[in-house]
Amino acid sequence: MGKCKRSAARALDWLVGQGCEVAAVVSADPDRFTVAEQRLDLVAERHELPLVTDGELYAALDDPAGSRLDLADVDVVISFLFWKRIREPLISLGGVGCLNFHPAPLPDMRGVGGYNVAVLEARSEWGVSCHFVDERFDTGDLVAVERFAIDPESATALSLDIESQERLFELFRAVLGRVVGGEELPRSAQGEGRYVSREELERLRRLRPGDDLGRKLRAFWYPPWPGAVVELDGRDLTLVDERLLDELAAVYRDAGRVP
């Protein structure tokens, strides 16, 4: 179960390549910016795997006889950047468990907006995590957390996501490699942590007096999505600076999008 990201697509490809039988795939719907290499649904189709919605998955668990899916003897349920709360009986379906791969260090940063907060708070370290899923977002027992150094004076939300996705894929291979090898996964309680809601993230996005402008711009730089915003004449306007414009110009030139 996952988003349309290169890391998620690579993870499913890798899993099939290990000879694992995948009973079903739940993929996000691609938007107009999604390229083929990010599409989890295309990987499923290429390997002829059942592609379903999460609603169909829960229906199959409620009524196995009336479903085309065979969910008997499932070893592990995988959430790779899946954006919805997972609930029973899916949490308890796998013999090994239900695992979530989260693009932030736990329990430091639960919920959304981890990259943005990391840049806003000038953190010099970030990380990615794998944990068992429970009834709440990002609170289940930890399997592994990989931490790595980042440059707090140059990182953007986009650059941090690019590095984190590569790290998350490597963590996925390490953890699922142990599952495929028949090893028992470690687990440890998270303890207290920090949760960022969508509402808090949107409040942080707005430029306010006293903000470090350059840091704020970098913290929300993730085109084509809205960046740091300021309200003018009743409209929210995204802010950029010369450095960010230079980055966009380089991308346009590389793509031949110049006159």
Residues of the chain with pLDDT under 50: none
Q: What is the pLDDT of residues 35-48, one digit of tens each?
A: 999 999 999 999 99
Domain ranges of the chain: 6-195, 197-254
Portion of the chain with pLDDT greater than 70, in percent = 100
Supply the pLDDT for residue 71: 93
Supply the pLDDT for residue 166: 97
Supply the pLDDT for residue 257: 79
Supply the pLDDT for residue 84: 94
Supply the pLDDT for residue 254: 85
Supply the pLDDT for residue 38: 97
pTM: 0.93
Q: Are 126 and 152 in contact (CB under 8 A)?
A: no
Supply the pLDDT for residue 247: 87
Supply the pLDDT for residue 128: 98
Of 3.40.50.170, 3.40.50.1820, 3.30.70.100, 1.20.58.340, which CATH number belongs to 6-195? Answer: 3.40.50.170
